Every structure is written in C-alpha cells, then in structure tokens.
Amino acid sequence: MGLDTWSLVTVYEIVVFLVTVPLLIFGWLMGAKGKNPIRDAPFESGQTHLGEARQRYMMQYYPYLIMFIVFDVVAMFLFTWGLAFSGVPLTQDYLFLVFIAVLVAPLGYALYLSGRREFW
Amino acid sequence: MTCLQGLPTLQEIVNLVLRIITSRTFLEVVFFPGFLNVMLSAAFLTWLERKVIARVQLRIGPLYAGISGILQPIADGVKLMFKETIFPELADTKLLMLCALGLMLLAFAPAVAIPFGEGFVIANMDVGLVYVFAVLSLFPSVILLIGWASNSKYPFLGGLRSLFQQVAYEIPMWLSVLGIVMLTGTLNLTKIVEAQQRLWFVVPQVLGFAVFFTAALAELERTPFDLPEAETELVMGWMTELSGVPFMIGFLAMYTKLYVMSALITTLFLGGWSGPGFVPQPVWVLLKTFLVASVIVVIRGSFPRVRVDILLKTGWTRLLLLALVNILVTVALISFGLDWVWRI
C-alpha cells in the first residue's frame, strides 16, 4: 500500500475516530439516565449556582497577549532563518543577530511597561 | 446480468480486505507505533504516575489488579465506560461531546511523527517538528471550548488559564529547539535522530533542553504549571463538569500528551532510537520515553504550583532570554566549525 505521508495521517485519524465515536455512544447508552435538578446544576462548591458562567472576566495579562501576537510571527521567521543557517555563507547571517537584538530591546521595554499598571 | 460483470466477487473482496489488514502500513497505523501503542502507553503512564507518586508520598499505590496493579488503568476505563454521562443543565451538550471527540483526535495526532527506528515511523514528514508543535498548540483552544460548553465557572476559568499559559510557554518552546534546527538544517524528526548518532543534542543544547523541558511541563499542564486544573483552586479545572466517557477521554488525552511530549524530548534531545544494539530500537525509544515521563512525574511529587503572573513573567523574561542565549551558543558552535559532529 503506497500511501503518502498525509494520507497515512488521515488513515490514523480515521482509526482514532472509529474508536472514539462508538465509545461515546456506548457510554451514553450504558450509563444510567435520570433527571435530578440538584445533581444537574453546575458545580459551585456546593452553593446554589449563580446563573451563566459566560460573563465578562478581567483580562489581567492583556499586554502579554499583544506581545505574543508580535513574537509568534517573529518565531516563525526565526525558524526559516535557522533552517537556512547551515547552508549559506555565515557572514550574511550575522546580520540576523542584529535583527534579534533590535527585537529584544522593545520586548524589554514592553515587559517594563506591563509591569507598571499605571500605563495601561 | 451484464451489469454485474464488472463487480468484484466475494472472494476478491475478502482477499483485498485480508491484504489490507496484513499489510505493514495497516499494522503500523493500528498496532505498534500507531493507535494501540499510544493508547496502551497512555494507560501505562497513568499506572506509572500513580505508582511513582505513591513512592514519593510513602504509599504503595495500586496493588490488586494484575501484578502490582498494572491492570488498574483498564479497570478504571471499564468502570468509566459504564458511568452516567452527566452534563450540567446550562451546558451545550452537543458541543461538549464534539469537544471530547476533537480532544481525542488532537491528542493522538502528534504521535504519528515520532520515529521508532530507522525508517520505522508512521508518517515520515519533512515538517515533522512544525506539525507536532502545530497540533499541540491547538489544545488550549479545545480546552477553552470545553470550559465554554460546560457553562460552569470553574471549567471556564480553567480554559482561560490554559490560554494564558500558552502565551507564556509557546515562544520559548519554539526558540529552544531552533538550535537543533540550525545544527541539522532540517525539520524532519527522523533526520534529527540520525544526526545524533555521534553525540546527543542534550550536550551541545543543554540550555535549549532546560528551556524545552520547562516549557514542556507548562505545555502538559503539569505541576508546577498545572494552573488549568489546579485542584486546590479550581476543583478539577476544565475537567470539573466532565463525567463518564468524556471524562475518560479528557484524562486519556492528558496522558497521551504526556507520552507524546516525553517521546518528543527523547527524539529531539536524547538520541531517539540510538543506543547499544543488543536492545531493539523501538524498545530504546519506549524506555527513554518512560524515563522522561517518570522524571516529570517525580517533579509533580516535589514542587508546589506557581502563580499565573509568575509563570507569564518567567516565560517572557528568563525562558525567552535563555532560549536566545542558546541560539547564540549554536551560532558560535557553527562559526567555529564544530557542527561536523551532527552532520548526517
């Protein structure tokens, strides 16, 4: 069977799918069923639950999220650079180290700002 | 009758099915490096964790099912299959079931790229490393979705924490393996193992190993970074409202992830299948994997949990800086012409 790489991944995932779905259905069929308002309430440490959980929560670490969005892309660029690193003459690649250094400086400033709550 | 001429006979169909079932590819996908191996390894790891944690805490652990309780995971699985699947009244039941299915698919997906010997890998992909990272980075989203679908406060908080944790560990984790990518010039996991025949990457990349191991602990959501399911704060975190088979799947997914991550650490830093030849190559991979997993379990028995802000700050300052220093060390290694050791 000459299957290529991604077809094999698909076949493997189909096997997982074919095991999981019957398992879920089996559990649904074999388990006891019944209605009990107290048991079916969302768990809130034994208290009566206070409505929906889908409320607004405070995003305390928002600056980190912004930095993540920036550096996610940078990390991907670094991967392509790292792949090419061993193949090409070295002198061109030292310039990339300057690029990293230029990126780290604003990161340090952003971390400093995220530590000072009065700025955001 | 002419329309039936082109159809295969029963004998031909049986032959075809037999040929597929006995083919090497099918056996690999379903049995050894594939599905059953991952499932049984995850089950074995639950037993290993209970035994090791028990020794750490001066207990004995599971004892009665099989030899020193080794069949305990199977007994637990059968028990959970017959339990009632309870959903909280405000929950999105269909979404929860779909999330359980998606979690299972995701948890098993990265295992296809792990090489178990020379040419003994299900999917020998050129972008294996990126594939594994891509699949692993989808977990927090599914966990947040479970928290959302449960519509209960503890699971939702757990899901949000999982997302923040990803922000903290993901970039240091990627950058810590960049040194290996630079030394080998490939993302293919098989070739990365082949490059380690002379010297394992844990030696030249010791900083990268330290960063990757720490980030892997955060990725696995294990102590000291088990914030999404912090038992003392969030009951059971994102798994609070799961029960029956969905709970089993959540539990299994966590241990599958532990297995995959240990195997990945083995592949990247500990030489994969390389070792003295009197033991078969796949056994070396499994031995190293379980060794790494038991180290992770001992860490769970020894360390307290960190706070969210400390994790974020450590990830963005110390871990990231160490990963960048590791890249500089690698650049120096290559500049001094020492990279011939890991050329294939």
Structural domain tally of chain A?
1
Interchain pair A44, B152: CB under 8 A = yes
A contacts of B309 (beta carbons < 8 Å): 60-61
Return d(Cα A109, Cα A102) in angstroms, integer: 12
pLDDT of residue B2: 59
Q: Write out residues 62-101 of A within 8 Å (CB-CB) of B.
A: 64-65, 67-68, 71-72, 75, 78-79, 82-83, 85-87, 90, 93-94, 97, 100
Torsion of CA B205, B206, B208, B209, to 10 degrees: 110
Is a pLDDT exceeding 70 seen at residue A89? no
For A5-27, b/e burial (b = at least 16 CB within 10 A) is beebbebbbebbeeebeebbeeb
Burial of B244 (0-12, 13-18, 19+ CB in 10 A): buried
- ∠B103-B106-B107 over CA atoms, to 5°? 80
Count how many Cα atoms sit within 13 Å of the Cα of residue B221 in the half-sphere of its side chain. Answer: 31
Work out the number of other CB atoms within 10 angstroms of the CB of residue B20: 11
Residue B127: give the domain boundaries. Answer: 33-342
Record the tokens describing residue B56, joined without a space: 């750490």
Query: If you ran DSSP here, which 8-state letter would residue A2 be given?
Result: -
Q: What is the pTM for the complete model shown?
A: 0.89
Return d(Cα A41, Cα B89) in angstroms, integer: 6
Record the tokens describing residue B169, joined without a space: 């560990």
Residue A56: give the domain boundaries. Answer: 5-119
- For A7, nearest residue in chain B (alpha carbons): B123
Reference B221, options B265, B169, B290; nearest CA is: B169
Return d(Cα B218, Cα B110) in angstroms, integer: 17
- Which residues, in sequence order, are CB contacts of A99 under 8 Å at separation 6+? none
pLDDT band at A91 (very low <50, low <70, confident <90, very high): low
B327 in reach of chain A (CB within 8 A): yes
The whole-angstrom distance between A115's CA and the closest CA on chain B is 9
- Residue B24 forms part of a structural domain: no
Q: Which residue has the tokens 């706070």?
A: B307
For chain A, how many residues are written? 120
A contacts of B328 (beta carbons < 8 Å): 97
pLDDT band at A90 (very low <50, low <70, confident <90, very high): low
Interchain pair B152, A104: CB under 8 A = no
pLDDT of residue B298: 92
pLDDT of residue A37: 81
CB pairs under 8 A between A and B: 192
The whole-angstrom distance between B55's CA and the closest CA on chain A is 31
Radius of gyration (C-alpha) of chain A in whole angstroms: 26
pLDDT of residue B92: 86
Average pLDDT per block of 10 residues along chain B, 344 residues long: 70 87 82 87 92 91 86 90 85 89 91 87 87 91 90 87 87 90 88 88 90 92 83 82 88 92 92 84 91 92 86 86 89 79 74
- Between A117 and A48, the higher pLDDT residue: A48
Return d(Cα B86, Cα B242) in angstroms, integer: 7
Work out the number of other CB atoms within 10 angstroms of the CB of residue B322: 17
Q: What is the CA B309 to chain-centroid distance, rounded?
A: 25
Structural domain tally of chain B?
1
Is a pLDDT exceeding 60 seen at residue A88? no
A44 in reach of chain B (CB within 8 A): yes
- Residue B23 forms part of a structural domain: no
CB-nearest partner of A27 from B160, B244, B328: B244
| Residue B37 vs residues A8, B93, B229, B257: alpha-carbon distances, Å | 16, 31, 27, 13
For A46-77, b/e burial (b = at least 16 CB within 10 A) is eeebeeebeeeeeeebebbeebbeebeebbee
- Residue B21 forms part of a structural domain: no
CATH number reported for the structural domain that contains residue A54 in this entry: 1.20.58.1610
- Residue B221 forms part of a structural domain: yes
- Residue B16 forms part of a structural domain: no
Return d(Cα A108, Cα A104) in angstroms, integer: 6
B44 in reach of chain A (CB within 8 A): no
A109 in reach of chain B (CB within 8 A): no
